[in-house]
Amino acid sequence: MEKIIQGKAYVLGKNIDTDQIIPAEHLVYSLSNPEEVKLYGKYALSGVPPEQGGLPEGNIAFIDEGRFDSEYTIIIAGQNFGCGSSREHAPFALKVAGIKAIIAESYARIFYRNSVDGGFVIPYETSEHLNQIINTGDELRIDVALNTIENLTRKVTYTLNPLGDVFSIVEAGGIFAYARQENLMAQS
Amino acid sequence: MAQTITQKILSKAAHRKFVDVGESVWLNVDILLTHDVCGPPTFDIFKEEFGSNAKVWDPRKIVVLPDHYIFTANEHAHRNIDLLRQFAKEQGLEHYYDVGGDRYKGVCHVALAEEGFNLPGTVLFGTDSHTCTSGAFGMFGTGIGNTDAAFILGTGKLWEKVPESMKFTFDGVMPEYLTAKDLILHILGDITTDGATYRAMEFDGEAIFSLPMEERMTLTNMAIEAGGMNGIIAADAVTEQYVKARSKKPYELFTSDPDAKYHSKYRYDVTKLEPVVAQPHSPDNRATVRSVQGTKITKSYIGSCTGGKLTDFVMAAKILKGQKVSVTTNIVPATVKVALDLEHERYDGQTLKQIFEDAGCSIALPSCAACLGGPADTVGRSVDNDVVVSTTNRNFPGRMGSKHAGVYLASPLTAAASAITGKLTDPRDFL
């Protein structure tokens, strides 16, 4: 895994549910065919009402017209990110769009598991209300070993909650890689 | 050591005497459920990880119920059904319920119950967040993603963190204007959409045990709307009667120890509760129907795993008998069985189907339909600035189709009463 994750922030509110992350009508595309996979990037976060996307101003597109990936690398959000359905297409779509880490105050269980076990994005938690003090477009730098996030635009550093038990799964790159590494599964 | 019912079931599945809250344990899975949206990517991951010739751990324990995008012209949706069919054939899955023939069932959570797959004391994982519905049968049921499901396909096992439990006790005799949907919307208003994250929600009390199985399923179905890992109701004589009529398989009854520890306990007197809705755009945005009475609606939708069971339609029929709806009203039976029951079940001398047709409702074919929006040609999908009163489970922005629509979650009684007046209406006005 990358030890340093650096890139621009895209800021969202609380209770961003999976229908906002990837609307249900798009769940029909293949997750393995490369041409169709790109569509998950194109429609990532397309269910977020425009005024609530790219806070604090809002009305900032996550994916520019005609593109399949985003100029943003890190999502900053409030409580209960990823609530709603069990669709693994949600963290998958964010990964395809170019997101590497999410920093939220809390997550819904299935989204959290999917992010970790599928090895798509790193779901960090923080007790700070970062979505109220970081602006969309700020340049951020996460230090995975130190559990810190630095806002390079504003020269402030915040602490992230350690990943705890799931760190080894994140580090391995997902539950299958982890299970092989720990001999929980026969090599195939 | 005292344990909750959820701990006891997980202990059994982990082959242990006791599991403690917060510890992660490997569980032996009794049933894995999947459908047309998450089945194909799950099968892809399974093959990628276990090999292209790999066989599933136990073909008798996998239930595949296509239900999401069935009656649509969308080619990608059709391809997903083909992929399910192909995998079921290749793996010899006897519990694959194909589309387009006699085997098709409909919405997976309701069909699981009807087909006898819900057995007290067992562990069910499903690639759908509403897998918690099955907890109404005194079993553990929870939703997972494709990767976790692929892991189960190959190994029959999955890790889970033993949840803390929250207890919700409902005392008193249910008034005729109150439904399980009102009870769960009350809870959501109290604890919010992340009030039970990673926890078990255990329901008990006189009012709960007086409910038929389908109403109990409405309660456990929406545990996920509070972030719950599972919802659970201990099995009783009502459960056993339902299960025995549908399955010959053995099962085991568990109950929480009287001194089991809970994260929190809530107690309600059902005689003091009122019909409620969840206003746009969150299932916890509770208001009594009376306080928003008169709000104009453009559609009424009665369907889904939450509100498309026979008991839901019996309730709706009580209100709609001899009345006319004034807005588009979609009746979407969850399953083929429910659709057939509409033709036979009578209320006040008429079949439910006749009552709905006479009232001017349109009856759709059984599937998830517009509960989650779906492809553009989905029946009942919200458009533009629709204001929908719906018996479904979620009303986040865009959930039923249009991002600009507002959805009021309500009981079948409230959805039916509102369909008649074209405004949010307390069902007591028609009872």
Quick: pLDDT tens for A117-162.
999 999 999 999 999 999 999 999 999 999 999 999 999 999 999 9
Residues B263 and B282 in one domain: no
Residues B280 and B412 in one domain: yes
**Domain end marker among B234, B267, B300:** B267
Contacts of A182 (CB under 8 A, 6+ apart): none
**Contact criterion met (CB < 8 Å) for B129 and A17:** no
Residues B96 and B218 in one domain: yes
> What domains are defined for chain A?
4-181 (3.20.19.10)
Instruction: Calculate what percentage of chain A has a pLDDT beyond 70.
Output: 98
Q: Is B143 on the interface with A (CB under 8 A)?
A: yes
Q: Is residue B368 part of a domain?
A: yes
Average pLDDT over residues B100-112: 97
Average pLDDT over residues B151-175: 97
Residue B291, both tokens: 């306080």
**Domain end marker among B205, B240, B267:** B267
Give the DSSP letter string of B62-75.
EEE---SS-S---H
Q: Is residue B100 part of a domain?
A: yes
pLDDT tens-digit map of B394-412: 999 999 999 999 999 999 9
What is the structure's pLDDT at A186? 60
What is the structure's pLDDT at A63? 98
What is the structure's pLDDT at B348? 97
Q: Is the pLDDT of residue B380 over 60?
A: yes
How wide is the angle at C-alpha B358 spanned by C-alphas B357 and B363, nearest 5°?
Answer: 10
| Chain A residues closer than 8 Å to B129 by CB | 84-86, 110
B372, B382, B407: which to substitute to probe chain A, counting the most A Cβ within 10 Å? B372
pLDDT tens-digit map of B235-266: 999 999 999 999 999 999 999 999 999 999 99
Kind and range of the H or E run holding A158: strand A156-159
Q: Which of A25, A85, A88 comes nearest B146 by C-beta?
A: A88
Instruction: Calculate what percentage of chain B has a pLDDT beyond 90.
Output: 100
Q: Which structural domain, as residue segments, surrounds residue B279?
A: 275-429
CA dist B224 and A83 (Å) reads 9
Average pLDDT over residues B31-59: 97
Residues B260 and B287 in one domain: no
Residue B348, both tokens: 């006040």
Q: Is the pLDDT of residue A173 over 80?
A: yes
The domain that holds B165 is classified in CATH as 3.30.499.10
Residues B243 and B299 in one domain: no
Q: Is the pLDDT of residue A74 over 70?
A: yes
Average pLDDT over residues A67-89: 97
- Give CA separation, A29 vs A25, A44, B79, B375, in Å: 9, 13, 9, 12
What is the structure's pLDDT at A1? 83
Q: What is the total count of domains within chain B?
A: 2
What is the structure's pLDDT at B146? 97
Residue B106 dihedral angles phi and psi, to the nearest 5°: 125, -150
Q: Is the pLDDT of residue A69 over 80?
A: yes
Q: Is the pLDDT of residue A102 over 70?
A: yes
Q: Is residue B143 part of a domain?
A: yes
Q: Is the pLDDT of residue B134 over 80?
A: yes
CA dist B21 and B29 (Å) reads 19
Contacts of B193 (CB under 8 A, 6+ apart): A15, A80, A83, B225, B226, B227, B282, B283, B284
3-state secondary structure of A25: helix
Residues B281 and B356 in one domain: yes
Q: Are the CB atoms for B10 and B162 separated by under 8 Å? A: yes
Contacts of A105 (CB under 8 A, 6+ apart): A14, A77, A78, A79, A80, A125, A126, A127, A129, A131
Burial class of A141 by CB neighbour count within 10 A (0 to 12, 13 to 18, 19+):
middle
**Domain end marker among B206, B241, B267:** B267
Q: Is the pLDDT of residue A187 over 60?
A: no
pLDDT tens-digit map of B195-219: 999 999 999 999 999 999 999 999 9
What is the structure's pLDDT at A185? 74
What is the structure's pLDDT at A188? 44
Average pLDDT over residues B257-277: 98
A21, A22, A85: which to substitute to probe chain B, counting the most B Cβ within 10 Å? A85
CA dist A178 and B147 (Å) reads 13
The mean pLDDT of chain A is: 96
- Distance from the Cα of A35 to chain B's closest Cα (Å) equals 13
How many CA within 13 A on the CB side of residue A186? 6
Instruction: Calculate what percentage of chain B has a pLDDT beyond 70.
Output: 100
The mean pLDDT of chain B is: 98
> What are the strands of the beta sheet with B230-232, ordered from one edge?
B230-232, B200-204, B165-171, B264-269
